[in-house]
Amino acid sequence: MAYIYPAPGVANVELTLEIEVSGDTNALAIPALQDITINNANDVFTWTQLDSGSKFNIPTTASNSIDMNLVVDQTVFFGSGSGADVAVNKGLFGLSKDKKLISFSLYMGDTNSGSAGKTISGTGYVVGLAPTVSADSPVWVTPVSITVVGDYTVA
Amino acid sequence: MRQQLLDYITANLTGTIKPSSELPFEEGNQALHLKNLRRVYLAEPYQEQTTLYATFNGNHVNVKTDIVQGYLTVDAKNRNTDLDAALTTLGSAKDVATITGRHRREFDYTTSIDNDRLTYEFQYRFYSIV
């Protein structure tokens, strides 16, 4: 079997997510991810026929998005504030606020320690930020979604 | 941490029940609180760490808990008139202002009776992010 197990903290085996804006030299690596979900939700066209007691379905276009939760890192969230790399400069909050089209690259982790895992990439927008903190858990965490424009690429 | 608690308790326990700063509080395999009734003894703090948020890059967010154990034994038959007030004071000590940077503070105690001795075994827990 080739189960994918992104061993936390192990280089080339752990799950990583990088985003960049077109023209960036260096991507913004998103640290401290708690969980991540890859959505590929096909719409379905449904019809009925008089000669069948059951409905017929065919998938049409998909809504693609990547949902995650992360612990807020100040530099990554608000950006470095300088430099030519837009994603690094603006951070997640700036990319969301300015509605920048980004490219993302999600390395899913490996089936062994040989960095031979799959990478899902595409373009989209950073949405769904909702940082929160509480007295019982006094560390900022936030959900983040990348709403994908078009299709995924798997490499 | 133990010292801040002792300072608070010393300043606020002014009745028949008083704190002792002795360490270790054992003498000949006998705990001193069993020998010296109406004395509050605090042990040295110890720590526990648990993961608050696990992350894929391995830089987990951890919660450190500093725990201070304490003991008080009184005569079970002749209850001190200021025992309730003393227990309230011991509980209030968890909020002592000189212990800082803690997002959560807890205090609780259990009781046990052995012969004529009523022992309160209490615990302070101070939580911080590391």
Residue tagged 């801040």 (tokens): B4
Residue A46, both tokens = 């449904």
B53 interaction partners in chain A (CB closer than 8 Å): 32, 34, 71, 137, 139, 141
Using the predicted structure, report yes or no on whether residue A12 has a pLDDT greater than 90: no
| Contact indicator for B42, B130 with CB cutoff of 8 Å | no
Q: What is the pLDDT of residue A136?
A: 82
pTM: predicted TM-score of the whole model, two decimal places: 0.80
Q: How far is B37 from chain A (nearest CA, A)?
A: 37
Question: Could A16 and B56 be called an inter-chain contact, meaning their C-beta atoms sit closer than 8 Å?
Answer: yes
**Exposure of B31 by Cβ count < 10 A (0-12 exposed, 13-18 middle, 19+ buried)?**
middle
| Nearest-Cα residue of chain A relative to residue B103 | A135
Q: How far is B64 from chain A (nearest CA, A)?
A: 12
Mean confidence (pLDDT) of chain A: 93
Fold observed for domain A16-154 = Factor Xa Inhibitor (4.10.410)
Please write the tens of the pLDDT for every residue from A74-103: 999 999 999 999 999 999 999 999 999 999
Please write the tens of the pLDDT for every residue from A13-29: 889 999 999 999 999 99
Q: For chain A, what are the domain ranges?
A: 16-154
| Contact indicator for A142, A73 with CB cutoff of 8 Å | no
Using the predicted structure, report yes or no on whether residue A47 has a pLDDT greater than 70: yes
A139 → closest Cβ in B57, B104, B129: B129
Rounded mean pLDDT, A44-60: 97
Please write the tens of the pLDDT for every residue from B75-125: 988 888 899 999 999 999 999 999 999 999 999 999 999 888 999 999 999
- The ipTM assigned to this model is 0.80
Please write the tens of the pLDDT for every residue from B53-63: 999 888 899 99
Q: How far is B52 from chain A (nearest CA, A)?
A: 8
Pick from A13, A28, A34, A73 the residue to mutate for testing the B interface (most B CBs within 10 Å).
A34
Q: For chain B, what are the domain ranges?
A: 2-129
Q: What is the pLDDT of residue B33?
A: 86
Q: What is the pLDDT of residue A113?
A: 63
Residue B71, both tokens = 């003991």
Residue tagged 């026929």 (tokens): A49
Q: What is the pLDDT of residue A114?
A: 65
Q: Evaluate whether the domain defined by B2-129 bears CATH number 3.30.2000.
A: yes
Rounded mean pLDDT, A55-67: 97
DSSP A18-69: EEEETT-SS-EE---EEEEEEEEEEEEEEE--TT-SS-EEEEEEEEEEEEEE
Q: What is the pLDDT of residue A24?
A: 93
| Contact indicator for A139, B61 with CB cutoff of 8 Å | yes
E strand spans, B10-116: 18-20, 26-27, 30-31, 39-42, 46-53, 61-75, 104-114
Note the Cα B16 to chain centre separation in Å.
Answer: 18
B110 - beta bridge partners?
B121
Residue B127, both tokens = 């939580």
